[in-house]
Structures are given as C-alpha cells and as structure tokens.
A = this chain, B = another copy of it.
Amino acid sequence: MINKQYILRERPVGLPTAATWSLESEPVPEVGEGQFLVRQHYISLDPAMRGWMNDARSYIPPVQLGEVMRAGSIGEVIVSKHPKFPVGSFASGWGGVQQYCLTNGDNWYLVDPKLAPLPAYIGTLGMPGMTAYFGILEVGKIKAGDVVVVSGAAGAVGSIVGQIAKIKGCTVVGIAGGADKCQYLLDKLGFDAAIDYKTEDINAALKRTCPKGVDVYFDNVGGEILDAALARLRMHARVVICGAISQYNSTEGIKGPSNYLSLLVNRATMQGMVVMDYAKDYRQAAQEMGSWMAEGRLVSREDIYEGIENFYPTFLRLFSGEKLGKLVLKVIE
C-alpha cells in the first residue's frame, strides 16, 4: 500500500506556494506493538496551519522541514496492535496531510460514525467547534442581551460562535466576505445582521448594526476589522482573540490594533485563547453541541473538497475565502 503525503519543504514568506510542500508516495509503514494504522477519510484544513509553518515560538512547536504537514483528521483503524483502538473503529487525531497515519494513539480519540457524520467530528464537534464553544462562553463570557460581533462569521469557528450566542439570547452581528455568505448568516444561521466587509465600510456598518455598541467581539481576522470593532466597544466589553487570518500571510509584519486604547476608555478586556486548554471539557461540550444539532438549533456545515492531490489549492481557499463553513479535504480514494 502506498501512502501519499504532503511534506513541508520550505517556510513560506507570505502566501504558501506550490513549492512549499512536495507530494510524496511512501510505502505504508509496519505497525509495531502499541500502534495502530488509520486509513484517513477526511483532513481538517484550518487557518492555524499557516502559523505552524513559521519557525517561531508559539503554543505548539512548528512543523519541521521534511515532516508531514500537521493537520487534524479522521479515519478508520485498519491495522491495530493497540487495545483501545480496535480494527474497524473510527478515530480522530493529528493525522497530518496524508492518506494513512501510523500512531501510538497520543491525542487520538474514538468517534461514533452513527451519532454524527465523520466530517462533523473535525468541524463542529472537533477543534473549530470547541474553539467556538469555549471562546465565546468562557473567554467572551456572553450573557443574554449582549451585542455580540463575530468576524470570519461564515467560517468553521465564526459560524458556531454566532449560533451559540443566539442560543444564549444575544443579538448577533456577523462579518463575512461576500453577499452570499451574508445571506447565509441571515437565512440559515439566524444572525440578526450581517456585514459584507468586501463592499461595506466596516466602521459605518458596525455603527448601523450596533447602534449601542458591542459587548463582545470575537476576532478571527485581525487587521482593520479588529480596529473597527475596538472603536465600537461598550463599557466592560470583552474582545476574544482567536485568530488573525488577515495577517497570517503578511510580508510586512503584523498590523497591530491602532484602536487598542479603546480598552482603556471602555475598561475593556482583550484576551487570547487556545482551544487545547479546555481539553478536559471537550466531551461535555461535544455532547451539548451534539444535542443542539439534533434539535436543529445548531447548523454544522462543511465544505468538502476531494483528493489529496488537491491539498494545496484547497488550502488556499482559507485565505481567499472561497468556501462556506468548515473546510475539509476528503483523502480516501
């Protein structure tokens, strides 16, 4: 059996190029004692992957040159010498951008394909969903009546953030790129308002949609949108820093938020979060979100592309915005 895998070859400056990775074909390795082999079905494509490619101190070590590109994944156990992961079971973990993953099970967990479709386990019930859940509830500390603004609102994290805020009784404004995405937020996800940052003046649009200001801003994008949201904060507002996709490929350094002194004027808090910190509570969160999904109160949407050979162009959709919901690559042939 041959395992096609993407190997990191260069550290990109700006947007990754075709030369950033090479696609290699290697024999599937032997399974040793305490190990198991996963035939991967789906790879999770996430903005955070861009950060892991930089040789910089961060919340996890960078991917090394010559290594398989790191990614979340889900698949079926097809060979096992590990008692907890029997053949025929399904599991999710850090399988990387490849078709087969040999692992000792660290950071892998079993999933039940009868309870939810496999892609949902790497979306709403996986890292993006957990990020949304703990970010908006634990860091954003939303309460009923809050005005909540979320950027990247049609994305894997943002779409769940907004829906959870609606479930909790907040007024929710989503910022997304394009009329289709904005219509989706209003029609399918029940947001109260949507802002198309590609065509609207973001400051004017926030003033229009949040006339009394913003209690919680959940930021996935950074840059000018973060600045505009800071300018609209209410007293004691909370700003959740989850990501900064507008800045990840910048070749001119990160643009810091010029309006950060709004934190002072409004006695507001800006706090960063990393989802791994909440690992002990993932199970409880997945159960609650699963029940919201079953009740039809939480829409989980994945945008699925096919073929491991298409990893590079599909990955670029994260930054061009040409996708709706959680970006997933199907790699099983």
Contact = CB atoms under 8 A, between A and B. Distances in A.
Instruction: Report, as a range, how many residues of chain A touch the other chain.
Output: 20 to 34
A254 B264 contact: no
A241 B260 contact: yes
Interface string A240-251: 011110010000
A259 B256 contact: yes
A270 B271 contact: yes
Given A264-B273, A272-B265, A227 B256 contact: yes
A274 B265 contact: yes
A96 B149 CA distance: 40
Given A254-B258, A256-B258, A260-B260, A268 B265 contact: no
Interface of A: 57-59, 222, 227, 241-244, 247, 253-274, 277
Given A255-B256, A256-B256, A263 B271 contact: yes
Q: How many copies does the complex hold?
A: 2
Contacts of A266: 272
**Residue from A57, A244, A265 whose CB has the most chain B CB atoms within 10 Å:** A265
A253 B264 contact: no
A273 B243 CA distance: 25
B259 A241 contact: no
Contacts of A269: 269-272
A141 to B, nearest CB: 12
A277 B59 CA distance: 35
B253 A255 contact: no
Contacts of A257: 256-257, 260
Contacts of A222: 261
A114 to B, nearest CB: 36
A59 B265 contact: yes
**Residue from A59, A254, A261, A263 whose CB has the most chain B CB atoms within 10 Å:** A261
A302 to B, nearest CB: 25
A311 B35 CA distance: 76
Given A269-B270, A271-B270, A241 B261 contact: yes
A241 B244 CA distance: 21
Nearest to A237: B272
Contacts of A260: 241, 254, 256-257, 260, 270
Contacts of A263: 241, 270-272
A59 B274 CA distance: 32
Contacts of A244: 261
A259 B247 CA distance: 12
Contacts of A241: 260-261, 263-264
Contacts of A58: 265
The 5 closest A-B pairs by CB, nearest first: A256-B256, A264-B272, A263-B272, A256-B258, A256-B257
A260 B257 CA distance: 8
